[in-house]
Structure 1
């Protein structure tokens, strides 16, 4: 077996994610498939590349050696592909490559960009992992990215990547069925939801870790439901089968309500990450203003979030 670039990407994904399961989710593979591929790679190089344990997968000395050679190759290949795409885009006009985590603000951001830059090809790459977006940015595959950083779990910022803060501390609300007893309260204590199942996206950065910390602080140990499909998650909440943490700019679906959590135990920081040289300072300023305007529009249009903002000083980014 000869190692290919896809094999090197798999090894880097396992090392970065810290486990085969998480790496498989990021790569769009099943865990058994990635495990089989890893065994074949280890057979080809003649030794174990990772130790497996309850805390995840860690590179062995041989693994560190292989990874130190694999990463420059991956970076060069990414740069080559990005340069080729840039050259192709250059023949057809200006191009702006953006990345973002999912959320309603993306639509408003794009709408403003299209209106301001009608002759620019704006491409958007949606991820569930801010870490992945930052790596794409650092390897010249994106020009800018809208990222979230879970409080208490700082992101690894690649060298050269800069951040411009949109919100220092955005709260996470909880989505629950209109029939839930807590739905009658304007603010919900997390302990009131101790008997509920909580929906968790296993691929989202630190979502489970942040929830676990909040649960531990509240002295509860609720059930978890791992769901990646948003439609299924919405149906489970509406039916009363589960609750879920959500962005405060989210829109309550049929049969559901959004409520702030007492004491805001779950918060994230929002920022626009850029790579120096990808955009000029005026371009970056305009891009940030479009994002901030889209965010403010959603925040003030949402009665629940608007009330939270009024109770907490109404701090939103200036235009």
Structure 2
């Protein structure tokens, strides 16, 4: 006898219901048939999987071991069937990966408007997303590469550069003294406590280089940026942020003078065709988000007055595998 998914499904049903009778009813089979199937499975595996009693069935140690491996397989098969049925009706979904970005909402909206149905996978690690694209688990990934810390880009991937260098700004409490300026000197924040997310690939290395170059050694906490924003609002910390971040009554976004920290924005896929199908929508969404961010719009008007705000500029070039 060779175990099949239906056998694993039967084991899971017995464990979940605690009864051969209830499991048979759930599976739509006769109880004697299920009992015979269970005996054959136990013979194949070499031991009892359940203890039978008047109160029901409960897994033996061997049963718990088998169930620990069976459940993920059954769940994966269930997911595969559901995804296949959905694709048969509506067509396959576009699997999009991304690190955090305010351009995401506009990008997904444009993709849907163009007839594509995106499924989004978020991750703080750009390297993880790139590996998923190379492995065929994602179709495209929008990631950022911290200046001075190159990403590990699989050789088989194709890249398109959305922006060669996006300056990173700083998020401050709205009542911070430095908000009196439109551009903040890093030494003005040397006495503040900073929060940085070290799980973002290259982030902590980039920030440390920035501090070192400025000759400052502020107190640093490690945490995710969602938590950091909440702590900034209460005056506990300051943190770096993307220039597309929007101010709030309790938060201010400011440029760091000299733009000491930057990232490169990349779109990755396995083929140029995959890139061509989604890059224009991403570029439009990014510049839409840029227009909505007052501090970033001011920076663009001053530093790159020729950069179109509604479409990618000549700086947004296509590249082949690897780094440019």
Give me the TM-score of the superposition, normalised by structure 2: 0.68
1:91 pairs with 2:88? yes
CA separation in 2, counterparts of 1:229 and 1:163?
Answer: 27
Question: Could you report, residue by residue, the CA deviation over 1:50-96 in whole angstroms, capped at 9, with x for unpaired residues?
Answer: xxxxxxxxxxxxxxxxxxxxxxxxxxx9xx99xx5875554231321
3-state DSSP of counterpart to 1:141 = coil
- Look up the match of 2:294: 303
1:256 pairs with 2:254? no
Output aligned runs, 1:94-109, within 5 Å: 94-109=92-107
Q: CA deviation at 1:268?
A: 0.1
- Look up the match of 2:19: none
- Are the counterparts in 2 of residues 129 and 205 from structure 1 also a CA contact under 8 Å? yes
- Look up the match of 1:34: none
CA separation in 2, counterparts of 1:308 and 1:121?
Answer: 34
**Runs of at least 4 residues off by over 3 Å:** 84-90
- Look up the match of 1:128: 124
- Are the counterparts in 2 of residues 238 and 254 from structure 1 also a CA contact under 8 Å? no
Q: CA deviation at 1:163?
A: 0.7
- Are the counterparts in 1 of residues 167 and 261 from structure 2 also a CA contact under 8 Å? yes
- Look up the match of 1:162: 158
CA separation in 2, counterparts of 1:197 and 1:112?
Answer: 39
Range that drifts further, 238-247 or 249-258? 249-258
Aligned pair count reads 233
Output aligned runs, 1:8-27, within 5 Å: none
Q: 5+ unaligned residues in a row in structure 2: which ranges?
A: 1-72, 317-324
3-state DSSP of counterpart to 1:214 = helix
3-state DSSP of counterpart to 1:131 = helix
Structure 1 183/202 Cα, relative in aligned 2: closer, same or farther at 3 Å? Answer: same
- Look up the match of 2:26: none
Q: CA deviation at 1:254?
A: 3.3
CA RMSD of aligned residues (A): 2.2
- Look up the match of 1:67: none
CA separation in 1, counterparts of 2:150 and 2:172?
Answer: 28
3-state DSSP of counterpart to 1:157 = coil
- Are the counterparts in 1 of residues 192 and 237 from structure 2 also a CA contact under 8 Å? yes
CA separation in 2, counterparts of 1:157 and 1:234?
Answer: 30
- Are the counterparts in 2 of residues 234 and 253 from structure 1 also a CA contact under 8 Å? no
Q: CA deviation at 1:287?
A: 0.7
Give me the TM-score of the superposition, normalised by structure 1: 0.69
Q: CA deviation at 1:284?
A: 2.7
CA separation in 2, counterparts of 1:313 and 1:161?
Answer: 30
